[in-house]
Structure 1
């Protein structure tokens, strides 16, 4: 018993050291990055000379008018929201939902090539048809952010831009620091300087629960054992959010998403590339844990996630800072947004086989040490209490909608 306890203490100390080292290193990189960014100059096309940026031309009267028209709410009782990552999966759905109900919405997205940018452009086109203008730019571009906040008095910022994916961190770790830490600080800095300051809702991740074995995952559980760099950057983001809330009075709500899926989803997600490969007759890889344990995920349909995003926005209190100075305590929250019903990945494959009417060719392999965890399971009682969050779509119903969209979008005959 004593040996085990001593081992756990050593493990705890080591994990804390790794975590805080990650934050320190990330912030150091951010400081260096900002200093380099300030010395960059824009050429006549508005493109930065640094390879870290993909900033399209912005500015001018027409551009300003597009921003202001898009940001204008239907009435005084509605909000004006800046949505970062607006051409992304969750961002595009949230932007459309906000616009439908009468809020003013301005999108910001860098359209990087982490996955096929044409899918992001297609989402952008749909949003444009509904009156949402998406600016192509980097969340680390402080000049662009300052210009946006000068043009529009945003009531809220829905910060959904991030470098996603657990496995990609092994290939391009710097992109996670650039987007998930430096980018988050840039957004907080812009919001801090605004007067009045907007309330902020931002995308954390269920990955922060890391190597936890207690289920279901609750917001009060420890999150200091990340299993991936992606998870570490999201955990660092939550600590940074606490700092900006404490010092500057920013109202900040973090959302821990659990395996979001659905139409217009991300091609790097298993349900998406499983569908693609099954239809092409290619074998898919299904991972299993030790002793043939099944990998399971708390798959959450996009419509339920959107409800959670809007609910957290509507229940967010105002920031208490003015001109970068705190005038009183501000709201700080974090919510799980999941489905509360973990499903084995093998069951996911079975459902897809039925919907696609194709038998999958499966290669079953041990779960690699690439940051993936064996299972996720959300406790959503806090979100349910605060704003009535209640998911209503099971995996079979959600996948049916996804497959219908997939076959239509890619013009595939099943």
Structure 2
């Protein structure tokens, strides 16, 4: 009898939650463009506004400060702009400071020219160095210039949680604006945009059990908003042109509400995650830092990450090596390089990430498969490193 496959790649994209599926099917059965003024259009708009409130609630934001996008990448590209609306005027920023372990959609720099993008160093656990940020911001401010600082709330590869509130505190002293990509954090740990003190928070629906192709920008205050990336229509209060994806947005909202209810499982997830560190030969990356409760980056010296991913796939277990947005690249992750891992160890890192539909039996099967694979690939790895 064939055993069911196990999905341990939630950070790449979580399975669609039943609440999101039901909400989307209901929305797909209705007609109406949310920009139309007739009853059908108003009903579609009402669905979007309900979802907007659900997404805002997940991160402690205000519904009227949520802009829906086609995903986290578009949300990041929109926010990462040298031109920002501040109050009734425009502010031109001179530089973009990004953490050295950011997602590729942030590493690309958005609409900033390449020469304006600066990197904030991280320590060996992958945590941004606040001293490096302060030194670089002070130097820029000394030249009479201002920056946008972008530091993710939780790393997509290692799960390492960044001190975003401290980053925002330093940035404010030098007149910088602050963005945080909370794509991986939302629904896994409590997120409060006001407590973080950021101007922009970006999200993606499919990371927390919503549909692919939907994301959001959550604005932290009443004064700052990004210049639209897409123009030519008045949708999203003139913040993002284009006919709204009603079913996708509705699914996002339902998933956000369900994910908020799942936060109580964090301690259980943390026990499962920590148990992975004692597997034979396992080296847990970022072990000394605060991390997401459901993410583990495991290295197995003497093996290759791509070989491990294939071996687990043949065992019926789906996981990944690094960011799904960088898949197909046979090279060491920029995250591991920034953390200073040696090439051999960095080239062996795989990511295990679970979530709402994961059970204890799934983790047990992973443990059993790990033991078999390690014995085959690295016979000498008989104990945890």
TM-score (norm 2): 0.30
Query: Larger RCO: Structure 1 or Structure 2 (Cα < 8 Å, ≥ 6 residues apart)?
Result: 2
